[in-house]
Amino acid sequence: MSTTKIMLIRHAEKPVDDAQGVEPDGKANAEDLIVQGWQRAGALIGLFDPPAGKGCRTGLATPQHLFAAGVGKHSESLRPEHTIAPLAAKLGIETDTRYLKGDEEKLANAAMTAGGVVLVAWEHQNIPNIAAAIFPNGPYPRHWPEHRFDVVWVFDRTDGGAGWTFSQVPQLLLASDEPGVIAVEAGAH
């Protein structure tokens, strides 16, 4: 079975200014999510695996494979994996964290060959690099804004299976979420 849909999300909210990241057990950790980020992580269950009879929002689907940026040299953040940890637990799926920040092309290749529906949680600066590896000629945004944690980038396999289409879905999970999507700039990627 080939991959039919790849959904990319930014990890949930991170520490800024005086906000403190916390591990699931409550210990302080600057490389983890803030409380608002943990709220988003929990809310992602309803977005990607809604209760029976409700169905996912248009453009989204329940993932069969989960990927998140792993922890390693120059990639110490726990945020990508922890963002989808509640969803992974609900679905009973192990998150693949073999790929680190800087491995975006390898991650994209793994996602494109995983089969079925894939969800990837990553750090925002490199999400456009994943998009470029999936859909080199775009269109998709070339930059992920620093303040946006609330959008899903969706790549759907075309009917012939040879290419991809791109769309965006606002998450609309928390009070601070914006209803709009990220602007797609004209020009080469």
d(CA 35, CA 76): 19
State which H helix or E strand residue 117 sits in.
strand 116-122
Inside any domain, residue 175? no
Inside any domain, residue 147? yes
Q: Is the pLDDT of residue 73 over 90?
A: no
Neighbours of 53 (CB within 10 A): 5
Inside any domain, residue 189? no
Inside any domain, residue 182? no
Residue 63 belongs to what domain range? 3-170
* CATH number, position 59: 3.40.50.1240
Inside any domain, residue 187? no
Inside any domain, residue 188? no
The per-residue pLDDT for range 36-45, each reduced to its tens digit, is 999 999 999 9
Length of the chain: 189
Q: Supply the DSSP string of 44-110, one letter for each residue.
A: HHHHHSPPTTT-PPTT----SEEEEPPPBTTB---HHHHHHHHHHHHHT--EE--PPTT-HHHHHHH
- Mean of pLDDT over the chain: 94
Q: How confident is the model at residue 102 (pLDDT cuts 50, 70, 90)?
A: very high
Q: Is the pLDDT of residue 188 over 60?
A: no
Q: Is the pLDDT of residue 187 over 60?
A: no
Question: Could you give the number of structural domains in the chain?
Answer: 1
Q: What is the mean pLDDT of residues 17-22?
A: 88
Output the pTM of the full model: 0.95
Q: Return phi, psi of residue 79, to 5°.
A: -60, -45
